[in-house]
Amino acid sequence: MELEFLGTNAGVPSLQRNVTSMALRMFEERRTFWLFDCGEATQHQILRSSLKLSKLEKVFITHLHGDHIFGLPGLLSSRAYQGGTTKLTVYGPPGLKQFVEVSLTLSQSRIEYELEVIEHTGGTVFEDQDFTVESLLLDHRVDSYGYRIVEKDKAGSLDLKRLAEYGLKPGPVYGRLKRGETIDLENGQVLKPEDVLGSPKKGRIVTILGDTRPCDNAVILAKDADLLVHEATFMHDLKESAYNYHHCTSIQAADAAVEAGVQELILTHFSSRYKDIEHLQPLLEEAQTVFQNTKLAEELVLFPVQRHV
């Protein structure tokens, strides 16, 4: 898993940065990527990356402010022209379905793949055998949600030496053991998976928050996460402005990382007053006084999701 930021600015785009969107690249895990928010010109940013819209599987929208959704109708329309034929599911707050349907209907856009829009008000919004996505309401001017993506633990690797000692050769029995099944051997022995499997491989946790003031639900979603993506619209000297606009400062983001016990923090959603990466350095340094393992989101740069033991 890797995160690729497609937009890191708050409110409006600037010459240096686009508005909010990020891709969770999951090509090793499921040969797809998921998109979180879709601000204006997100599809242009995708064209500048190695991502292909045909591989887009899911879109998660945090809230319905324009800098997080104005790129969605165009992206949905363009996906079919870029080889997208598989089902695409879009998740987000109530009102999202109307926005998508009205935009596509009035523009007479033709969607030639299966498109499903699922509205939610928090809770478990997606689950399969490999991942769970949970959501909680944050504290913003409109309903804004954070997402907690949990990779489920996987069985440990098979001990080939031990399997050979039991007289087993590669074949279907290996798969049965990996699935947790007990095997009856020809000599009457019973072989349990734990006899030949290494320690389970712990799944990773990624938390991606929408716009928010400091709140309890942000910490709950980020609890013990391997990676937390948190807005940091302002430096802490503008904490009153942050509060009035329902946003966070760099220090407040770092405080949440400490309280939640996360491994790594990436700051994003920067005010356009901070023109470029050089002007963002003080914001980063400020956060690092509270939580050292903090990074700045940079557009079209890959951030691996490390597996912490």
**CB contact at 8 A, 302 and 51:** no
268, 273, 279, 284 alpha-carbon torsion, rounded to 10°: -40
**Annotated catalytic residue 67:** yes
- Taking the mean position of all CA atoms in its chain, how far away is CA 270? 18
CA dist 219 → 77, 232, 253, 261 (Å): 36, 15, 10, 9
**CB contact at 8 A, 82 and 54:** yes
Residue 120, annotated ligand binder?
A: no
Which phi and psi angles does 77 have, rounded to 5°? -70, -40
- Return the structure tokens found at 169: 């050769």
**CB contact at 8 A, 157 and 198:** yes
Residue 246, annotated ligand binder?
A: no
Residue 236, annotated ligand binder?
A: no
**CB contact at 8 A, 72 and 109:** no
**CB contact at 8 A, 67 and 20:** yes
**CB contact at 8 A, 22 and 208:** yes
- Return the structure tokens found at 104: 């596509």
Residue 65, annotated ligand binder?
A: yes
Residue 211, annotated ligand binder?
A: yes
CA-wise closest residue to 215 among 288, 101, 136: 136
Residue 68, annotated ligand binder?
A: yes
Residue of 37, 67, 226, 255 marked catalytic: 67
Binding region for Zn(2+): 63, 65, 67-68, 140, 211, 269
> Residues with catalytic annotation?
67
Residues belonging to the binding site are 63, 65, 67-68, 140, 211, 269
